Every structure is written in structure tokens, then in C-alpha cells.
Structure 1
């Protein structure tokens, strides 16, 4: 799950950022793929480190009252 999550999120975010930065130009694909590769190399380890913390926080938010 962390692998696919980081892959898809970095894909979408880097595409949006690249389009915003250079527009729909002929260099878009090449520039975006380079940005995506770098983004994923950062995103995957970050997801592995942050996911346990996020899971605990989510449990605190959705846990019902204790008896």
C-alpha cells in the first residue's frame, strides 16, 4: 500500500506542479517524468516513516468513547 500510495500521489502532484510551472509545452512529458522520479524517491521513504504516525492519529480521531 505505501508503494502504490507514494507512486500515485507523487505522479499527480508532480504533474500538476509541472503543468503550473511550464504549461502544456512540448517539454512537458520529459520534464514531468524527471520531476516524478525525484518526487517518488522522496515520497516513498517519507510515507514509510509517516504512515505509522498517521495511523495512530486516525485511530485517535475515530475511536469511540471508552467504557
Structure 2
């Protein structure tokens, strides 16, 4: 297995892989429909999408984490009555 020290690279890699796969397929079908050679068209689109997605996630990911942390708040702790 892969050592945990590579988690900061593995997570963005897998996220980019799956998201670019799904999004490129959906967009390819929306634009071209179910045509002959759809697989070839989609794989080419997926390769291009992944090349952009992986570095984008590496760059934008930390900013998104900070933005999410800024937007979130802890729920106030309430005392619940004992029954």
C-alpha cells in the first residue's frame, strides 16, 4: 500500500481522476450524443480534463479548505434536560 505521508497527493489525484472521468463523460455525451466512437472521444476528453483537474485541485484545494473553515461554525452546545 501507499504510505500515509503521500495522502496530500493521493487524495487530490483520486479526486481529479474520478471527477474528470464523470464530468468529461457527461459533457461529451451532452455535446456529441451517443455517437460512434464515443469511447474514443470521451477518453481523449478525459485525458485533457485530468491534466487540468489535478494541478487545479492541488492549487485551489487549500484555498477551498480555508474558505469552508471560515464559513462553518461550531454548533453551540446545549444542556439537555435529564429525564
TM over 0.5: yes
TM-score in terms of structure 1 length: 0.90
How many Å separate the matches in 2 of 1:39 and 1:25? 20
The answer to whether 1:49 aligns with 2:78 is no
Superposition RMSD in Å: 1.2
The answer to whether 1:10 aligns with 2:5 is no
How many Å separate the matches in 1 of 2:31 and 2:68? 34
TM-score in terms of structure 2 length: 0.74
4+ residue segments displaced more than 6 Å: none
Structure 1 stretch displaced more, 17-26 or 30-39: 17-26
Structure 2 portions without partners, runs of 5+: 1-10, 76-83
* Structure with the largest fraction of helix: 1
Larger Rg: 2
For residue 28 of structure 1, the aligned residue among 38, 55, 62 is 38
Structure 1 portions without partners, runs of 5+: none
